[in-house]
Chain A
């Protein structure tokens, strides 16, 4: 809570991904990650693409679906303390533009990764698992879902 900031936005986490330049910045970050991985001489192009996909999805899972609450005190007396970042986006409304965008990025990366790995069986298996990790937590039906109470508190 900052002084002179008495607004109706009690939780900035709900709207920060809608702000100007966030989507472009997000895509640019994915591109930079991919270029870094491509620059490593050890990896073939196929490996780099799969790694981009996997690293992106794992990082996205940790950032959006594992970390809960806010790093700062919010004006709603801790209403979102038990919600993951994904569940806080747009205050829980589903099918908003940001949510559709963030759901489509892993899917788009999956298609790219499959293409650039020539649909090699091993790569596709790994990419499918990564796709599951990236997309299944985003289903509206799994809003506020906790498997066996893991990560509930």
Chain B
């Protein structure tokens, strides 16, 4: 039984089903073209260095996830971080750059600038104010690369992502990158945007050129996932309602604090009183998670590497799925509350 084509995407590895998935994803997100990566982490971390090189400037949010951070490091560009979701700080940085550009127009002509943000932050759980970013994009002529791993299949009336959620046009965001390993439940990821933007990654996207392509069966699974998403558009509002309900149920968990945007199905439960040692906090949360798993509720401790730019607070991560019923949500919340009460206080 064949597990995959085991060859490079640009060579023998691309099968007709990959092309079909790319077309379907492009159509679903309302964009001209999409490109598929076989590993979700590699999607954004290959997309950024494909466009941004040395001596280019990237304005990036501090709270981005590790994949984006690796993409920024690989690009070798000058990164200007703005405080998490602080649009005033971003505006200040863009204005400073504008002043420098006016002083040296020859340098400005050869310097590319980008804004990188996540639609729904993995480490923090909150939304980025996309309309403000689009306003900056138009005012300062700086393209936006948006990481949509958590918002694809979650936000928007039809699940198309952050642009639909905020009522913007798909053309307002230059490139979206999303992992298919989250809402879609498959492997890999995709980038979507205008044809001439996305086409560049076919030769310059390192994770596309130098990596084997996605197993065709999982591409087929993603296509089926898209069929479900297009066929039952009510599941997205149901998912968001369940996320809100779960957050309400989890409020009042002893020792833990519910964080993030209310419609985000990925719920971070941060420790209300963290100790000075991160290891102790993690061990404590590990015990709570273990207790929950033993009682039949899958809860994990949010894990980070030491190389993270800004280590988020220690937290448990609870993810709501649209298939869960109200009873199951209540049962899960009860289990989590009991486990927290037992170990934290």
Please list the residues of chain A having a beta carbon within 8 angstroms of any beta carbon in chain B. 1-4, 6, 73, 77-79, 81-82, 149, 152-153
Also in contact, A4 and B8, with CB within 8 A (given A73-B204, A153-B110): yes
Please name 5 pairs of A and B residues whose Cβ atoms are closer than 8 Å in the assembled complex, sorted by A.
A2-B203, A4-B8, A4-B10, A78-B76, A149-B106
Residue of A nearest to B107 (CB): A153
- A77 & B53 in contact (Cβ 8 Å cutoff): yes
CA separation between A152 and B105, bound complex, in Å? 12
CA separation between A4 and B54, bound complex, in Å? 24
Known: A2-B203, A77-B53; 6 extra A-B contacts, CB below 8 A, are A4-B10, A4-B11, A78-B55, A152-B106, A153-B106, A153-B110
B75 at the A/B interface (Cβ < 8 Å)? yes
Residue of B nearest to A151 (CB): B106
Also in contact, A81 and B209, with CB within 8 A (given A4-B8, A153-B107): no
Shortest beta-carbon distance from A4 to chain B in Å: 6
Also in contact, A81 and B11, with CB within 8 A (given A1-B203, A1-B204, A152-B106): no
B99 at the A/B interface (Cβ < 8 Å)? no
Q: Which residues of B contact A78 (CB under 8 A)?
A: 53-56, 76
How many residue pairs link A and B with beta carbons under 8 A? The number is 40
B49 at the A/B interface (Cβ < 8 Å)? yes
- A3 & B10 in contact (Cβ 8 Å cutoff): yes
- A81 & B210 in contact (Cβ 8 Å cutoff): no
- A3 & B8 in contact (Cβ 8 Å cutoff): yes
Also in contact, A77 and B54, with CB within 8 A (given A1-B204, A2-B203, A3-B209): yes
Shortest beta-carbon distance from A50 to chain B in Å: 35
Q: Which residues of B contact A149 (CB under 8 A)?
A: 106
CA separation between A79 and B74, bound complex, in Å? 13
Please list the residues of chain B having a beta carbon within 8 angstroms of any beta carbon in chain A. 8, 10-11, 49, 53-56, 74-76, 106-107, 109-110, 203-204, 209-210
Q: Which residues of A contact B53 (CB under 8 A)?
A: 77-78, 81
CA separation between A79 and B75, bound complex, in Å? 11
Q: Which residues of B contact A6 (CB under 8 A)?
A: 210
Shortest beta-carbon distance from B54 to chain A in Å: 5
Shortest beta-carbon distance from B216 to chain A in Å: 19
Q: Which residues of B contact A152 (CB under 8 A)?
A: 106-107
- B106 & A73 in contact (Cβ 8 Å cutoff): no
Shortest beta-carbon distance from B345 to chain A in Å: 51
Shortest beta-carbon distance from A25 to chain B in Å: 28
CA separation between A152 and B55, bound complex, in Å? 13
**Chain B CB within 10 A, most for which of A1, A3, A82:** A3
Residue of B nearest to A69 (CB): B110
Q: Which residues of A contact B75 (CB under 8 A)?
A: 77
Q: Which residues of A contact B110 (CB under 8 A)?
A: 81, 153
CA separation between A152 and B108, bound complex, in Å? 12
CA separation between A77 and B110, bound complex, in Å? 14
Shortest beta-carbon distance from B10 to chain A in Å: 4
Shortest beta-carbon distance from A33 to chain B in Å: 33
- A79 & B54 in contact (Cβ 8 Å cutoff): yes
Residue of A nearest to B111 (CB): A153
Please list the 3 inter-chain residue pairs (A to B) with the smallest Cβ-Cβ separation, ordered nearest first.
Answer: A78-B53, A3-B10, A77-B76
Residue of A nearest to B105 (CB): A153
Q: Which residues of B contact A79 (CB under 8 A)?
A: 54
- B204 & A153 in contact (Cβ 8 Å cutoff): no
CA separation between A77 and B54, bound complex, in Å? 6
Q: Which residues of B contact A2 (CB under 8 A)?
A: 203
Q: Which residues of B contact A153 (CB under 8 A)?
A: 106-107, 109-110
